A and B are shown apart, each in its own frame.
Chain A
Amino acid sequence: MTVHKLAAAAAALGLIAATTVAIAQKTSTEAIEEYREMLQDGNPADLYEMKGEELWKKARGPKNASLEKCDLGLGAGVTKGVFVQLPRYFADTNQVQDLESRLVTCMSTLQGIDPKEVINGQWGKGERANATALATWVAAQSKGMQFHLPQSQPQERIAYEMGKRAFFQSGGSHDFSCATCHGEEGKRIRLQDLPNLTKNPGDGIGFAAWPAYRVSNGQMWTMQHRLNDCYRQQRFPEPTYGSAITIALGVYMGVNAQGAKSAVPTIKR
């Protein structure tokens, strides 16, 4: 072999080595994105959607009624587009309600199901699991639509201010607040990028990404579950299902996400 050929071979080897390095240099974020994309095609959230649709149409509970007359904010029985306008004020309950708490109201008034079965229930069990499936299906009807939460009622504006305060209020044994992790750009926990929730974090991110299927534990999580676990991770007492603070935080995040497109139901690691 001539010196020339040797040099060429060495150069080729060098090229291969360089390429290998380039592949290895794919950032962890990119690798996770790729993994999520592969999972997206068979997102088990679809199974919860199917279950939710069935629960919506089926006559159940002591009153043996379906939820098809449930008013989620845009009139009785309307499911398309409601998710991107929740939480909002409801005159009949005189409360600002999010999707899950409104579904609980409907389950109680239309079907006669005791709200305590959801509120005091366990994640993934009984009526609370049913509420999760219903929320997944209803939310999925607004896929690709932009968030525009109403702020015309004084109660809705109060909820926003309340949510803002709760978001920045630090406490617990670790002196954490929501803002500790979600108050600025470029933060992450291990490999998970954390969205900045004080503004619109982008389409399908943050508020626009839940309900989501969690691959790591095989559970479907609604925003209620997400918030509950955020508080648990901050070492705060876990908030009551559908309580005022969870809804206020929903209003704060939802209003901030104005214009973001909903990607729900999504899939998370």
Chain B
Amino acid sequence: MGDPMRIRAQAKDGNVLVRILMSHEMESGQRKDASGKIVPAWWIQEVTAKLNDKQVFSCEWGPAVSKNPFLEFTVKGGKAGDKVSVSWKDSKGDTRTDEATVS
């Protein structure tokens, strides 16, 4: 299982602003190590987010996304006290899910 994400969710004017910082190497598969061997690709492929068990966000990523990616989006509706849960799945099949409460 990957390292924990840092999720912040803030309610403002009837919307919820979600900011997520993920901890991941995001290897593109284009880099070579010190001995000249290609570092195998390893990146987050799918990201989904739920607001109180209802899916509100999903995306597919490629290897061009940076290391330790930062993602921000706004969800219509939602209020303080709601639960935001974010999951990712990477190219090795590893997954990670973290939760935060909307403040």
Contact = CB atoms under 8 A, between A and B. Distances in A.
A42 B66 contact: no
Interface stretch (B53-61, B67-75, B81-89): B67-75
B67 A47 contact: no
Interface in B31-60: none
B6 A47 contact: yes
Size category of the binding interface on chain A = under 10
A50 interface: yes
Nearest to B67: A218
A43 B3 CA distance: 16
Interface string A86-127: 000000000000000000000000000000000000000000
Chain A, interface SS category: loop
Interface residues of B, number: 11
B23 interface: yes
Given A47-B3, A51-B3, A42 B67 contact: no
Given A218-B67, A218-B68, A42 B3 contact: no
B3 A44 contact: no
Nearest to A218: B67
B6 A218 contact: no
A55 to B, nearest CB: 12
A77 B21 CA distance: 29
Nearest to A213: B68
